[in-house]
């Protein structure tokens, strides 16, 4: 999973190249205005998709660590998030492909309220 996350990060960085770098003159060098807005928008969409997968990988790794340590019950916010993660991806017991779990968690990030923990987030936190 770390190799996959690293590869996705590299692909994300590659997609951050400014679209304006690819501007070309046209009409016998009379015009240099080439609309690159759609190209930039597609790149941004691809970046969001890749970052979602990277976050999914990190969440799956963190969830596995919580399962192994069995300490999430002491942390209500973490326990609620763990419950949400485990509704779309089960814990890992044996060596197995992770592609479906990554896709399921990535989809849950974009299509559900996975991080919406309203009862728990209403608490005020003091940093004094």
State the SS3 of the chain: CHHHHHHHHHHHHHHCCCHHHHCCCECCCCECCCCCHHHHHHHHHHHHHHHHHHHHHHHHHHHHHHHHHCCHHHCHHHHHHHHHHHHHCCCCCCCCCCHHHHHHHHHHHHHCCCCCCHHHHCCCCCCC
Query: Residue 127 falls within a domain, yes or no?
Result: no
Query: Residue 83 falls within a domain, yes or no?
Result: yes
Q: How many CB atoms lie within 10 A of CB 117?
A: 17
32-59 pLDDT, tens per residue?
Answer: 566 777 888 898 999 999 999 999 999 9
> pLDDT tier at 107 (50, 70, 90 boundaries)?
very high
Query: Residue 91 falls within a domain, yes or no?
Result: yes
Query: Residue 102 falls within a domain, yes or no?
Result: yes
73-101 pLDDT, tens per residue?
Answer: 778 788 888 888 999 999 888 888 999 99
Question: Taking the model in full, what pTM does it have?
Answer: 0.76
Query: Residue 72 falls within a domain, yes or no?
Result: yes
Tokens standing for residue 104: 């399921």
Domain that holds residue 68: 2-16+38-117
How many structural domains comprise the chain? 1
């Amino acid at each position: 999973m770390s190799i996959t996350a690293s590869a996705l990060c590299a692909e994300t960085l590659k997609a951050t190249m400014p679209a304006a770098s690819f501007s070309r003159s046209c009409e016998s060098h009379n015009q240099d205005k080439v609309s690159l807005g759609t190209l930039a928008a597609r790149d941004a969409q691809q970046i969001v998709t890749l970052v979602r997968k990277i976050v999914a990988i990190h969440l799956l790794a963190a969830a596995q660590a919580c399962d192994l340590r069995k300490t999430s019950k002491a942390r209500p916010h973490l326990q609620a998030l763990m419950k949400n993660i485990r509704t779309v991806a089960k814990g890992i017991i044996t060596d197995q492909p992770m592609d479906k779990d990554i896709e399921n968690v990535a989809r849950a990030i974009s299509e559900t309220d996975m991080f919406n923990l309203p009862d728990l987030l209403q608490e005020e936190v003091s940093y004094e």
